[in-house]
Amino acid sequence: MSDTVQRFSAVEAKIAAAEREAGREPGAVTLVAVSKTFDAADIQPVIEAGHRVFGENRVQEAQGKWPDLKQAFPDIELHLIGPLQSNKAREAVALFDVIETVDREKIAAELAREIARQGRAPSLYVQVNTGSEPQKAGIEPREAVAFVARCRDVHGLTVEGLMCIPPADENPGPHFALLEKLAREAGVEKLSMGMSGDYESAIAFGATSVRVGSAIFGSR
C-alpha cells in the first residue's frame, strides 16, 4: 500500500471514530479528499482504493487533471472549494459536481445562466466568512441567510449547504457552531467544515463533509 493510501485509510478510520463519538450515523460524514497541487499519479491510488470524492481549489488546475480521471472513473464527485471568478463559471459548471464557494450575487447570477445554458446543475453551497476576515472569500455571517434565500428566489438556484474556513489562528469550534446555526436558519442540510487539523472537531459540531488535504496527500 502506498503512503498516500495508508494515510487515506487512517483518515477514514478517524472519521468513523469521530462519528461514533459524536453519536452520528456511520457514514454520515463524507470525506472530500483535497488533491490541489498533486497530480493524477498521486491521486490515482486513492481512486483505486475505492474513494470517489475529491476537492480542488482552482478551476484551471482541475481542468488539467480531472477530465481524464472522470472519464476513467465516471462516478467521481468533484468539489470546487476555492474562490470562483465569474469568468470561470462556465468551466466550473462543466467540470464540478459540487461548487462550495458561492458567495456573492454576481456569481449566483453567472451560475444560474450557465446551469440553464449547459443543462448541468452542480450542487451548490454558500461559503460563509465566519471570522469576517477581510482577505478571505465568503459572505458575511449576518447576510448569509438572506443570500441563500436570494439564490433561490431571485436566481432559481438550489443551495444545499454552507461551507466555512475558520481563521487559522483561532479555536475553530465557535466558527463550526455558527455555521451550523446559520444552516438551520437558512433551511439547508449540508455543512462543509473541517480540514486536516480540525476535522474531528468539525464532525462533533455536525459537519456532513470534511475537506482533508495534507493529512492524506502530504504537505504541499
Verify binding: residue 213, ligand PLP, rule CB under 6 A: yes
Q: Which residue has the cell 470562483?
A: 84
Q: CA dist 52 to 67, 120, 218, Å?
A: 14, 20, 19
* Smallest separation, CB 65 to ligand PLP (Å): 16
CB-based contact 112:157 (threshold 8 Å): yes
Verify binding: residue 34, ligand PLP, rule CB under 6 A: yes
Site for ligand PLP in 57-116 (CB under 6 A): 57, 81-82
Q: CA dist 171 to 163, 174, 182, Å?
A: 17, 7, 18
Site for ligand PLP in 127-146 (CB under 6 A): none
Residue closer to ligand PLP (CB basis): 172 or 213? 213
**Only segment of 61-69, 107-115, 152-160, 205-213 that touches ligand PLP (CB under 6 A):** 205-213
Give φ, ψ of 206 to 5 degrees: 105, 10
Q: CA dist 131 to 11, 25, 159, 195, Å?
A: 27, 29, 21, 16
Verify binding: residue 36, ligand PLP, rule CB under 6 A: yes
Verify binding: residue 208, ligand PLP, rule CB under 6 A: no
Q: Which residue is nearest to ligand PLP (CB)?
A: 213
Residue closer to ligand PLP (CB basis): 82 or 131? 82
Tally Cβ neighbours within 10 Å of residue 115. Answer: 19
Binding site for ligand PLP (CB under 6 A): 34, 36, 57, 81-82, 165, 195-197, 211-215
